[in-house]
Amino acid sequence: MPYNHYHVSEFVLDDSFQAYVLCTDPEAVAFWTNWLARHPHKENEIQEATELVRLLAGPKRTQPLPDKEAELRRLIEQLPVNNSSYEPSPVRYPIFAGWQRGTFAVAAMLAVLFLAGGGWFLTQQLSHPGQTVLKTDFGQKRNFFLPDGSEVTLNANSTLRYQPDWPEGEIRQVWLEGEAFFHVAKRQVAGKPIKFTVRAGELAIEVLGTQFNVLNRAERTQVVLEEGKVRLRSTENSQLLLDMTPGEAVVYSQRNGLVSRQQTDTQLHDAWRDNRLVFDNTPLAEVAEIIEHTYGKTVTFGDANLMSRRLTGTIPSDDLTRLTKALSRAFDLQITERGDELLIEAH
């Protein structure tokens, strides 16, 4: 698996990454210093994995080896940090001289399972102290129940976080990055409804009890209301933007603050819960974006004119191979998978 698709668990169990954290080999430190400079979006996961490796290794392995410092500086200075095509092959090193290698692997795996809950659940004490964090990987989706009984379906490559204890009578709040469908339970205290708020980028989505879909990616937040009532506010100044009614879709751009609003068929936006993607005159360029966000693939078109071709219909989304085969048949395309890239060409 390429490093840019690693999550905390993979980083922790990687020998080269361990050598970087504990500074036991200058080449590993140089490689990862360069890699992080070219992948700043992975900084939070790197920080979490670093803390966990240090915790497992103990306090005596966190300082650079004195006789290697000069060599380390020399190696780092020679690295072409700004060259995006540069990808050195990492070398794996046996480390943790004070540990049995198998013992560390078992301890790391147990810690990772505690943190990741088998890839689905993460109680994160590092970048969001005290919060519960739910995560899904590329190609995965999962159902969760929140402390108030509300149900959340989290789409692939998404994160939801919240305070684990919701005192009676206080506003219920969650933070979303990615996509999720919410079925919010109605709650009252002394006859007064208790609000449920989803914070997605610069939007605060306020509800009492309802069903809706939120997509928050790439500085763009979309809310589709299936049932009930939703109120949208700015998280910057709490300014009321609008109240939504069922069957509406609202898109908010974080780049320019513009809001668009229209009636929609809600199944176009939440069919992913049933492993389907429903398209209505959708450009292939948008289909490619969905593939990139859901499966972590980089999509390239052999002919730019293909990007404007439009798709109407339903395609299975539970498996990338099935999805690409369906696209190939629909448009008479040749789709080639090369590692983390998909090349789309006309036959």
Q: How far is Cα 50 from Cα 238, in angstroms, rounded to an integer?
A: 36
Same domain, yes or no: 145 and 126 = yes
Same domain, yes or no: 135 and 174 = yes
Residue pair 133/59 in contact by the 8 Å Cβ criterion: no
Residue pair 254/201 in contact by the 8 Å Cβ criterion: yes
Same domain, yes or no: 304 and 259 = no
pLDDT of 66 higher than 70 = no
Nearest CA to 345 out of 329, 330, 328 is that of 328
What is the structure's pLDDT at 318? 81
Highest mean pLDDT among 51-55, 161-165, 215-219, 247-251: 247-251
Same domain, yes or no: 303 and 338 = yes
Same domain, yes or no: 247 and 300 = no
Same domain, yes or no: 125 and 44 = no
Those residues whose C-beta lies under 8 Å from the C-beta of residue 324, and which sit 6 or more positions away, are: 335, 337, 342
Tokens standing for residue 41: 């979006």
What is the structure's pLDDT at 119? 40
pTM of this prediction?
A: 0.61
Nearest CA to 203 out of 190, 195, 192, 214 is that of 214
What is the structure's pLDDT at 108? 53
The whole-number average pLDDT for the span 228-242 is 83
> With pLDDT > 70 as the criterion, what percentage of the chain qualifies?
78
pLDDT of 109 higher than 90 = no
Same domain, yes or no: 220 and 140 = yes
Q: How far is Cα 23 from Cα 64, in angstroms, rounded to an integer?
A: 5
What is the structure's pLDDT at 44? 77
Task: Between 197 and 277, name the one with better pLDDT.
Answer: 197
Same domain, yes or no: 213 and 137 = yes
Q: Which of 53-67, 221-235, 290-304 has the lowest mean pLDDT?
A: 53-67
Nearest CA to 111 out of 52, 60, 71, 165 is that of 52
pLDDT of 98 higher than 70 = no
pLDDT of 279 higher than 90 = no
* Secondary structure in 3-state letters for 186-245: CCEECCEECCEEEEECCEEEEECCCEEEEEEECCEEEEEEEECCEEEEECCCCCEEEEEC
What is the structure's pLDDT at 91? 40
Nearest CA to 188 out of 167, 171, 169 is that of 169
Instruction: Report residue 22's pLDDT band, with 50, 70 and 90 as the boundaries.
Output: confident
The whole-number average pLDDT for the span 24-28 is 82
Tokens standing for residue 231: 């109120």
Number of domains observed in the structure of the chain: 3
pLDDT tens string 285-320: 999 999 999 999 999 999 999 999 998 888 888 888
> With pLDDT > 90 as the criterion, what percentage of the chain qualifies?
30
pLDDT of 334 higher than 90 = yes
Of 99, 116, 133, which residue constitutes the final position of a domain? 116
Angle subtended at Cα 28 by Cα 25 and Cα 31, rounded to the nearest 5 degrees: 150
Task: Between 101 and 5, name the one with better pLDDT.
Answer: 5
Tokens standing for residue 271: 């069919």
What is the structure's pLDDT at 167? 81
Range 83-91, long-range pairs (CB < 8 A, 24+ positions): 84/38, 86/34, 86/38, 88/31, 88/34, 90/3, 90/16, 90/28, 90/31, 91/16, 91/27, 91/28, 91/31
Q: Report the DSSP pairing between strands 298-301 and 341-346.
A: parallel
User: What's the distance, Cα to Cα, between the start and end of the chain in Å?
Assistant: 30
- According to DSSP, residue 88 is labeled P
Q: How far is Cα 222 from Cα 203, in angstroms, rounded to an integer?
A: 10
Same domain, yes or no: 36 and 19 = yes
Instruction: Report residue 277's pLDDT band, with 50, 70 and 90 as the boundaries.
Output: confident
Of 68, 91, 116, which residue constitutes the final position of a domain? 116
Of 84, 116, 148, which residue constitutes the final position of a domain? 116
Question: How is 158-196 classified by DSSP, letter by letter?
Answer: -EEEE-S---TTSPEEEEEEEEEEEEPPP-EETTEEPPE
What is the residue-averaged pLDDT of the chain? 79
- Residue 321's Cα: distance from chain center in Å? 21
- According to DSSP, residue 49 is labeled H
pLDDT tens string 116-142: 443 444 444 445 567 888 999 898 899
Q: How far is Cα 143 from Cα 122, in angstroms, rounded to an integer?
A: 14
pLDDT of 30 higher than 90 = no
pLDDT of 163 higher than 70 = yes
Highest mean pLDDT among 176-180, 228-232, 292-296: 176-180
Read off the CATH number of the domain in which 251 is found: 2.60.120.1440
The whole-number average pLDDT for the span 41-46 is 80
What is the structure's pLDDT at 232? 92
Same domain, yes or no: 144 and 231 = yes
Task: Give the bridge partners for 276, in sequence order.
Answer: 316
What is the structure's pLDDT at 99? 45
- Expressed as residue numbers, the domain containing 332 is 275-346
pLDDT of 153 higher than 90 = yes
Instruction: Report residue 97's pLDDT band, with 50, 70 and 90 as the boundaries.
Output: very low
Same domain, yes or no: 162 and 254 = yes
pLDDT of 41 higher than 90 = no
Instruction: Kindly report the number of other CB atoms within 10 A of residue 108's CB atom.
Output: 21
Same domain, yes or no: 127 and 244 = yes
